[in-house]
Amino acid sequence: MSTATATSTVTAWPDGRRITIRDLQAATDRGERWSMLTSYDTLTAGIFEQAGVRALLVGDTSAEMVLGHSSTLPVTMDELIPMVQAVVRGTRTALVVADLPFGSYQAGPGPALASAVRHLKEGGAQAVKLEGGRRVLPQVETLAGAGIPVMGHLGLTPQSINVLGGLRRVQGRGDAGEELLADALALERAGAFAVVLETVPAELARRVRGALRIPTVGIGAGPDCDAQILVWQDMAGLTTGRLPRFVKRYADTRGGLLEAAGRYAADVAAGRYPDEAHSYA
Ligand code: KIV
């Protein structure tokens, strides 16, 4: 029995079709926490789905994790769409959420709709995500009105790095917490199906969760959100350097790859690979 089948008999998650935003809401309504990871390629997408991760985000963090940029700002729709296609091809049941990159939606509902439609038509995604609260409500209303599921993103919004003054600052302390709560309520009213809360105090996330019906998806938002998301390379130990406090490493993928590649290079240098067993007669 596959992992997905075993899980679905217990939790009522669908096995023979893709998870929808209604399934995510139903899980939240019955008090079941669920997880998301980022994914930018076919193979990791399939692994994460098999592991029971319900929704995958083709995030603009691909700018850093895949393309080597130092922020999320440079990635474009044209660069994201092939990654969305790859993640969709690699999955059968996971809900695929595609990020709207910086510059693709801020100008208003028209550009936002055009970008979101590309993610669904060309990429095959089932939903999109954008950053911001009340300032992007017209965009959220337009997308939701067009039948496009929209995930909001509040707190630390990396596309605003140039005004936030760094990506490690906890957002929403003091009066800013009331603003964030108002943004979250406005997103829900505008038709968002979920909202990411990034790098905010756990107490604020608890309040937001209590005030919303739609799922809250935490990343650095404490234990009380309905769902959690991490960048997969952080979760699996591929990234280096100092990581945010909220990241928990579940594997040493970097160490494993380094060791494998080192043994391969040494075997080639010593003439041990390829040997007879790996050659054609
Ligand atoms: O792009 C991304 O990976 C994200 C997550 C960190 C939430 O927005």
Residues 226-273 have pLDDT tens digits of 999 999 999 999 999 999 999 999 999 999 999 999 999 999 999 999
Q: Which entry of 198, 203, 259, 276 is annotated as an active-site residue?
A: 198
Amino acid at 40: Y
Tell me the residue ranges of DSSP E strands in 137-177: 150-155
Closest ligand 1 atom to the C-alpha of 198?
7
Q: d(Cα 117, Cα 91) in Å, to the nearest integer?
A: 20
pLDDT of residue 2: 38
The rounded Å distance from CA 16 to ligand 1 centre is 28
The rounded Å distance from CA 157 to ligand 1 centre is 9
Spatial neighbors of 191 by CB under 8 A, at least 6 apart, are 140, 141, 143, 144, 145, 150
Whether 61 lines ligand 1, by a CB cut-off of 6 Å, is yes
The rounded Å distance from CA 10 to ligand 1 centre is 29
Q: Let me know if 198 is a catalytic residue.
A: yes
Q: Which one, of 188, 153, 140, 144, lies nearest residue 60 by Cα?
A: 153
Q: 229: which strand partners? A: 36
Whether 196 lines ligand 1, by a CB cut-off of 6 Å, is yes
Spatial neighbors of 155 by CB under 8 A, at least 6 apart, are 171, 172, 180, 196, 197, 198, 199, 200, 220, 221
pLDDT digits (tens, 9 = 90+) for 158-176: 999 888 877 668 899 999 9
The rounded Å distance from CA 102 to ligand 1 centre is 12
The rounded Å distance from CA 44 to ligand 1 centre is 16
Amino acid at 122: E
Would you write out the chain's pLDDT as a tens digit for each of its 281 residues?
334 444 444 568 998 999 999 999 999 999 999 999 999 999 999 999 999 999 999 999 999 999 999 999 999 999 999 999 999 999 999 999 999 999 999 999 999 999 999 999 999 999 999 999 999 999 999 999 999 999 999 999 999 988 887 766 889 999 999 999 999 999 999 999 999 999 999 999 999 999 999 999 999 999 999 999 999 999 999 999 999 999 999 999 999 999 999 999 999 999 999 999 999 99
Whether 57 lines ligand 1, by a CB cut-off of 6 Å, is yes
Q: What percent of the chain has pLDDT over 70?
A: 95
Q: For a pocket test of ligand 1, which of 168, 228, 231, 247 has the largest count of ligand atoms closer than 8 A to its C-beta?
A: 231
Q: For a pocket test of ligand 1, which of 56, 57, 197, 200 has the largest count of ligand atoms closer than 8 A to its C-beta?
A: 57
pLDDT of residue 97: 99
- What letter would DSSP give residue 154? E
pTM: 0.94
